Amino acid sequence: MPTTRVYRSTDAGAPALYRDAESLQSLLYACLDTGYGAQSGAGWTRSYTAAGKAVFKQGGGSGEYIRMLDDPGSGYASVACTGYETMSDVDTGTNPYPVVGAVTFTYMAPSSGIALPWTVVADDRTFYFYNHNPSDSDYRGGAFGDGYSYQSSGLYRTFLGATGYVRGTALPDPGADTWFTPRNHLGVYNATDRPLSLIGDTAKGVSGLLKGTVPYPHGPDNKIWLAPLELVDHLTPAIRMRLRGMWHWLHDTAAVADADVFDGVGDMVGKNFLIVRNVFDGSAYRHVVVHETSSTWDTN
């Protein structure tokens, strides 16, 4: 089973994240590939680099690539990201997703020269990146890697999620497509973008938000309630996969603080969890994201 690792800007020897050229690429190089201080890398490879650009390849799973390109127009406060199934150099690859343009990982960077707090949760096939302004705990982020496919073959399960990617939707609603994958479940690559949207347990949740309505603490069992988060292809339609190591918090967000941790019980025994609170959805900072920090992510 792949090893799950949590990287933080407060770790000894951690790289700093600045509003500077190639800063995010350098940070991910340290987290995903080389490691730093006492932290080992997550098992990825930085395959290609050039000025303002970097390409990272999954170490396990589907073995796909993410290409990252600085956006000088933003003062390097954002990085344009595109997934590829294969790549032969920093600018050349097959089956990009999204097909047109790119998705954006955006920094919370007030100005150059100020180090930004950040967190990366990763294994050798999936990573989730978060950073926030030093003056508050509001997070932006992005994600890339393998989901847990609902196909018995486990194929066609790679995704790319942009800043604002945590917006939830109801099952029939394609209105918050901020995730992309290169193929449908039949393996057909699309000449147009194949967007995905995120769903959780809408019956216990709040429409469009990663939070819930279950009382906390929950009286009958005095437990925390979580639900899987899934990616839906509305063009097919199909529920394609669930996210690995990321869960829907089904209580009000006021019940917890950022960076709270807890252990699983019952069906979740052996799992450990980290809360990232006030995550951006494209318009507001209002979500709780829950990550497994134990090496227990579902894998196929």
Report pLDDT for 101. Answer: 79
- Supply φ then ψ for residue 149, to 5 degrees: -70, 145
Q: How far is CA 212 from CA 56, 126, 215, 231, 249, in A?
A: 35, 26, 9, 18, 6
Residues facing residue 105 across a β-bridge: 79
Q: How far is CA 144 from CA 147, 161, 217, 221, in A?
A: 9, 6, 33, 35
Report pLDDT for 233. Answer: 85
| Beta strand residue intervals within 171-259, DSSP E | 179-180, 195-199, 205-206, 209-212, 226-233, 238-249
Domain limits of the chain? 5-292
- Supply φ then ψ for residue 235, to 5 degrees: -75, -25
Helix H or strand E encompassing 65: strand 65-70
> What token pair was written down for 272?
């450990």
> What token pair was written down for 1?
């089973």
> What token pair was written down for 196?
């995905």
Could you report the per-residue pLDDT of 44-82, keeping only the tens digit for each?
Answer: 999 999 999 999 999 999 999 999 999 876 767 789 999
Report pLDDT for 172. Answer: 46
> What token pair was written down for 131?
């950073």
Report pLDDT for 255. Answer: 82
> What token pair was written down for 191?
């000449």
C-alpha gyration radius of the chain: 18
Report pLDDT for 207. Answer: 77
Cis peptide before 98 (omega within 30 of 0): yes
Q: Which residues of the chain have pLDDT under 50?
A: 172, 174
Report pLDDT for 163. Answer: 67
Q: How far is CA 238 from CA 51, 154, 180, 241, in A?
A: 39, 15, 14, 9
The distance from CA 18 to its chain's CA centroid, rounded to whole angstroms, is 20
How open is the CA angle 152-154-158, to the nearest 5 degrees?
150
